[in-house]
Amino acid sequence: MRKPISIAAAIVLAAACTAHAQQPGGTGGIRYKWVDDKGLPHFSDSLTAEAMKFGYDLVNDQGMVVQHVPRQLTPEERAAQQKLAAQQAAAQRAAEAQRRAEEQMLVAYPDEAAFQRAQQDQLDTIDQQINTTRINLRSQEKTLTDLLTRAGDLERAKQPVPKFLNDRIAEQRNIVAGQRNALEREQAARAAAEQQAAAQLKRYRELKAAQQPPA
């Protein structure tokens, strides 16, 4: 007993039959031809589940293929196809965003000197933040040194170190560690920004060269 065809397959079949019937001399007689996984050809007067599994040709009464219907995709294949389509769309959006950004860059900076000044301003801003963090770090380190000195004086005097002082030292150590981590992050960001600036300058020069008329 043959399985009923899907709605989608029925729509494809109806469209193919209609197209063939409209051809000169067409009688509308359609057969189905497909090749199984062993490479053996099959023919049928009606659409079967096996034909849909492997993909099939619609053949008219003159033996000519009027339409090819690809095989049904598995859920995994459909998911992979959708993922690929999403990746391609994302890449296209990224490329378009880059194109617009480069156009704006050329408009904003008509010459290389202006572009380099803007880049240096950005690096100077990062340098100012790094300098501020260094100043704060030195201040916090001095505070920690003062607290440790007080605790050391008490210990040398054979006096117990109060809990509040130990707590304050622990808190200050965390503050100093946080400032040191912040300084490391800012220095890493500065190095990355410098590399990015070099890459952007190279790209700027390429775009400006492309605008020059051929010699």
Query: Which of 198, 212, 201 lies closest to 102, judged by CA?
Result: 201
Express each pLDDT in 175-187 by its tens digit. 999 999 999 999 9
Q: Which of 12, 4, 3, 60 is nearest to 32 (CA)?
A: 60
Query: Is 130 within the bounds of a domain?
Result: yes
Identify whether 96 is part of a domain.
yes
Same domain membership, residue 104 and residue 163: no
What is the number of domains present in the chain?
A: 3
Range of the domain at 87: 73-108
**Three-state SS at 68:** strand
The Cα 58–Cα 182 span in angstroms is 69
Asked if pLDDT for residue 75 goes beyond 90, the answer is no
- If asked whether residues 204 and 114 sit together in one domain, one would say yes
State the burial class of residue 38 (Cβ atoms within 10 Å of its Cβ: 0-12, 13-18, 19+).
exposed
The span from the CA of 147 to the CA of 153, in Å, is 10
11-45 residue pLDDT tens? 444 444 444 444 433 335 788 998 888 889 888 88
| Residue scoring higher pLDDT (29 or 111) | 111
Question: How confident is the model at residue 66, as a pLDDT?
Answer: 87
DSSP letter string, 147-174: HHHHHHHHHHTT-PPPHHHHHHHHHHHH
pLDDT digit string, tens, across residues 117-157: 999 999 999 999 999 999 999 999 999 999 999 999 999 99
Concatenate the DSSP letters of all residues of 197-214 into one string: HHHHHHHHHHHHHHHSPP
**Residues 82 and 60 reside in one and the same domain:** no
**Residue 102, SS3 per DSSP:** helix
Tell me whether residue 2 is in a domain: no
Q: Does residue 44 sit in the same domain as residue 98?
A: no
Collect all residues with Cβ–Cβ distance below 8 Å to 191 and sequence separation of at least 6.
none
What mean pLDDT value characterizes the chain? 86
Among candidates 134, 114, 132, which has minimal Cα distance to 201? 114
Are 120 and 130 in a shared domain? yes
User: What is the percentage of the chain residues whose pLDDT exceeds 90?
Assistant: 63
Residues 80 and 154 in one domain: no
- Give the pLDDT confidence score for residue 23 in this predicted structure: 40
Same-domain status, 14 and 58: yes
In a domain, 215, yes or no: no
Q: Does the structure show a pLDDT above 50 at 50?
A: yes
Q: Would 214 be classed as within a structural domain?
A: no
pTM of the model: 0.59
**154 and 104 fall within a common domain:** no
